[in-house]
Structure 1
Amino acid sequence: MSSSPSSRAVASAPDAAQTSRSRIIFASFIGTAIEFYDFYVYATAAALVIGPVFFPHGSATAQALSAFVTFGIAFVARPIGSFLFGHFGDRIGRKSTLVASLLVMGVSTTLIGLVPGYDAIGSLAPILLCILRFGQGIGLGGEWGGAALLATENAPAGKRGWFGMFPQLGPSVGFLASNGLFFGLALTLSDAQFKSWGWRVPFLVSAVLVALGLYVRLKIAETPAFKAAIERQERVRVPVAALVAHHWWPTLLGAFAMIVCYTLFYISTVFSLSYGVSTLHFSRQSFLGMLCFAVVFMALATPLSAWASDRYGRKPVLIAGIVAAILSGFTMAPLLGSGSMPLVALFLTIELFLMGITFAPMGALLPELFPTNVRYTGAGVSYNLGGILGASVAPYIAQLLAAHGGLAWVGAYVSVAAALSLVGVLCMRETRDAKLM
């Protein structure tokens, strides 16, 4: 006996909802994966080749420091991007703003791959590099908050941590893609070929990836929470003004909570890569291979931590991860400083595993700190202010500390940064059961 049209419609409703959620999850993941691919391509290039190509210093240390300054420029730009895109994300909607942020990032990254070096156009080369690096920061500043909201505002009850995990997987995949491509180039090209043109290839590949991301994002719908806010006429005229006036405390606590994530990641990747190749004399391909191995553990830690944050709460998971991160700073000198490949790989694995543990709950935690009418702005600003505090100057400071005091000083820097995050998390409320509608 055939079922009636009404019963078939009822039966198909869960399937349609599941399809919609799957599409939303993929859209939140693919966007952050592409954006972080773009961002990490520059980070890897800064550690390996940006200094010699764009800065004419005779000293290798001076070149590295100059490259790390350009690396930090994007972190200054990211809060500006979160203010700019957050305004439109809270006023116009999540979907269109995410499309715009992806375009800004993709165009900036692709153009970096086309900028001639200092030998070709002189001082104009580093100027153009800095402008485009600033554009990367603007784009990424608008990306993460929207992607996190896309996932969490569509999540079913009790699973926001799990849904918020998918944009958090983007950095792991983006890093593996960028470093994997650099690793492949290191295996197939000579040093002269790599420094001449090979390093540009990962930047140019960004254009193809951005086209894929735009295709996916143009097919998603607006989030239910934002639609409800429009119906209730809750939008504010200037979201950043409302954020500063009424929500500055959770913004500050969210930024402090993010410091540990950024510090663990960029000390482990950018600084350690530069130090491992220039001081420990690892080959470029062997150190990139160790990083790709370690990032797998970061990816494995992400769903584990997200699941635990739904079950036990955001704060307990973060406190445990941050305390472990404080202790991990003491392992830097004996492990990384050993110059032994197994011990260096162990150090990188520990740090990036802990990065995954502390980073995963943020996809739900930061959106949960804010009401719908300032959520895009608030989550993005907290996330990117944490980047200024924890990442913008981290490789630069680590380079100086290593030169003057050794790796023990760099390890102490990691521990202090993690302690600041612990203070932020201890001061904030538990948000697992917060309402997002």
Structure 2
Amino acid sequence: MTGPSTALGDRRSLRRAFVASLSGTSLEYYDFAAYSVAAATVLGKLFFPSGDDLAGTMLAFTTYAAGYLARPLGGFIFGRLGDVLGRKKVLVYTLLLTGISTFLIGVLPTHASLGGFAAVLLFALRFAQGVGVGGEWGGAVLLSSEFGDEKRRGFWASAAQIGPPAGTLLANGVLALLAAVMSAASFEAWGWRVAFLLSAVMVIFGLWLRLKLEETPVFAKIAERGEKPKAPVTEVFRHEPRALIAGILVRICPDVLYSLVTVFVLTYMVTKLHLSRSEGLGAVMIGSAAQLFLMPAFGALSDRINRRKLYIIGTIAAAIWPFVLFPMINTKSFVMIAIAVVVALAIHALLYGPQAALITEQFSERLRYTGGSLAYTLASVVGGAVAPLVFTALLAGSDTWVIIAGYVTVTGVLTIAGAVLAREPKVTESLTTPEKVSQ
């Protein structure tokens, strides 16, 4: 069987696993989103002062990209440990690493106090964040899906997918509230730090949930049969390369679209259209709130119809929408901006909701943590890591949004190729051997 039925774990364990998966990824993407918003608004001035706001923002996005570039390292380290030691233990480690790194960013001195060394420390902490997130996703997906009914894998695996919009919503909400209740000078001086310091409370809650969990039934059975891999990374590259390539490609366009809407659009509105950051944050918050419901809904929908076909439909929409998004934003009307962003994030939900199930079911049970983590994190390097930098550079070089929209379309072509390459195994098919996956 590709996954356990609910008979392998009672309903209470299933609910706990779903909440633990959701809350853990929410925390880690809260951390990531807090940095994303801060990078687009204040970090360039505080850590990379140059007198050129656009140049400072690009440098802040370079540090932003470090979090993505670090993800493969987290995928290698924690993915391997997750298939050898178990899902539960590793997810405690990733939570601590990301939470502590985020808290330290909140107390980090700026360029005014430490000079260039402040930027070095910011880069290091951002890198540590990325390592933690790189190891989190693969385990969080398995935590909920391996307790759940395999016939509803799309829905149960979507628990981890709800984390990014939940974290984004919370981070944007906190930063928007802080910006609203204090002066711009106070927010720039210390207000932004509060969002990072709050992660300490969230880490404690997440640890409490995860420490109460049992190991997933799937991993327990693998351990009982003595089938834990000794070199899971090597086995993935040797026996399951098709699954890995497909998993990487299906991630690229959703990552780029998400970076465009939640990160770059804020910069575009502030630097190009001279609008306030609060309008962009408000639009992203509305879209993220909608995603909380859309992601599990689309995950459940992918259990009823062909998952790959649904994914291709979503990718086509993602490749086209930027050509509508920018003209709507250029109206400078908040209503139009909000509609443009909400639709973009709804398209992202159509892709992201089923994505966890689509990627993890490519791999055998004994290699799922490693394989899923590698696909997720390697795609982040060529997708989300460079996207804000590419967007900013294209805008500076061409002074038009059309080429930016075209870039998203190119990534859509790659993702469609990945969906075509991917396989959609039958529910009753056993995936416990690499040979069956690679057929």
Deviates more, 1:254-263 or 1:241-250: 241-250
Moved over 6 A (4+): 13-16
Q: Of 418, 424, 428, which residue of structure 2 is paired with 1:430?
A: 424
Change (3 A) 1:71 1:80: same
Matched, 1:133 2:126: yes
Aligned to 1:326: 319
Deviations 1:308-353 (A, max 9, x none): 1100021121011111111113213322233222222222112111
Partner of 2:384: 391
Residue deviations 1:292-311 (CA, integer Å, cap 9, x gap)? 01212322321221111100
Residue 117 (str. 1) matches residue 130 (str. 2): no
Is the contact made by 1:401 and 1:410 (CA closer than 8 Å) also made in structure 2?
Answer: yes
Q: 1:435 to 1:179 in 2, by over 3 A?
A: farther
Distance 1:416 1:351 in 2: 17
Structure 1, unaligned runs of 5 or more: 1-12
Deviation at 1:167, TM superposition (A): 1.1
- Which residue of 403, 406, 418 corresponds with 1:409? 403
**Matched residues in 2 for 1:191 and 1:221: separation?**
47
Contact 1:72 1:393 in 2 (8 A): yes
- The answer (yes or no) to whether the contact 2:298–2:353 under 8 Å persists in 1 is yes
Mapped contact 1:75–1:388 kept (Cα < 8 A) = yes
Larger Rg: 1
Q: 1:268 aligns with which of 241, 253, 261?
A: 261
Q: Distance in 2 between matches of 1:369 and 1:142?
A: 18
* 1:70-89 equivalent positions in 2, closer than 5 A: 70-89=63-82
Structure 1 Cα separation of the partners of residues 397 and 162 of structure 2? 36
Task: Kindly state the Cα deviation for residue 176 of structure 1 after the two structures are TM-superposed.
Answer: 0.6
Q: Secondary structure at the match of 1:236?
A: coil
**1:199 aligns to what?**
192
For normalisation by structure 2, the TM-score amounts to 0.94
Q: Is the 8 A contact 1:298 1:354 kept in 2?
A: no
SS at match of 2:424: coil
| 8 Å CA contact retained: 1:329, 1:413 | no
**CA distance in structure 2 between the partners assigned to 1:99 and 1:256 by the alignment:** 29
Matched, 1:160 2:153: yes
AA partner of residue 424 (structure 1)? G
Contact between 2:261 and 2:345, CA under 8 Å: does it hold in 1? yes
Stretch deviating more after TM superposition (140-149 or 276-285): 276-285
Letter in 2 for 1:353: A
Residue 33 of structure 2 corresponds to residue 40 of structure 1: yes
What residue identity is the alignment partner of 1:295?
S
Letter in 1 for 2:311: L
Following the alignment from structure 2 to structure 1, what is the Cα–Cα distance between the partners of residues 396 and 425? 42
Determine whether 1:105 maps to 2:84.
no
CA drift of 1:429 comes to 1.1
1:420 aligns to what?
A: 414
Judge conservation of contact 1:310–1:432 (CA < 8 Å) in 2: no
How far the C-alpha of 1:45 sits from its partner, in A, is 0.6
8 Å CA contact retained: 1:51, 1:67: yes
What's the % identity of the aligned pairs? 38
Q: Which residue of 2 aligns with 1:7?
A: none
AA at the equivalent of 2:341:
L
State how far apart, in whole Å, the 1-side matches of 2:150 and 2:388 are: 40
Q: Match for 1:126: what amino acid?
A: A
- Between the aligned partners of 1:175 and 1:398, the Cα distance in structure 2 is 20
Q: Given residue 325 of structure 1, which amino acid in structure 2 is its aligned partner? A: A
Listed as ranges, the gaps of 5+ residues in structure 2 are 1-5, 433-439
* 1:252 corresponds to: 245
**CA offsets per residue over residues 207-254 of structure 1, 9 Å max, x none?**
110010000000001011111111221112121111111112211110
1:184 to 1:316, Cα distance in 2 relative to 1, 3 A: same
TM-score (normalised: structure 1): 0.94
Partners of 2:380 and 2:21 lie apart in 1 by 20
Deviation at 1:15, TM superposition (A): 13
Question: 1:253·1:428 contact (CA, 8 Å) conserved in 2?
Answer: yes
Aligned pairs for 1:9-24 (under 5 A) are: 17-24=10-17
CA contact 2:39–2:61 (8 Å) conserved in 1 = yes
Distance 1:229 1:14 in 2: 17
Query: In the aligned structure 1, how far is the partner of 2:325 from the partner of 2:129?
Result: 30
> How far apart, in 2, do the equivalents of 1:258 and 1:15 lie?
31
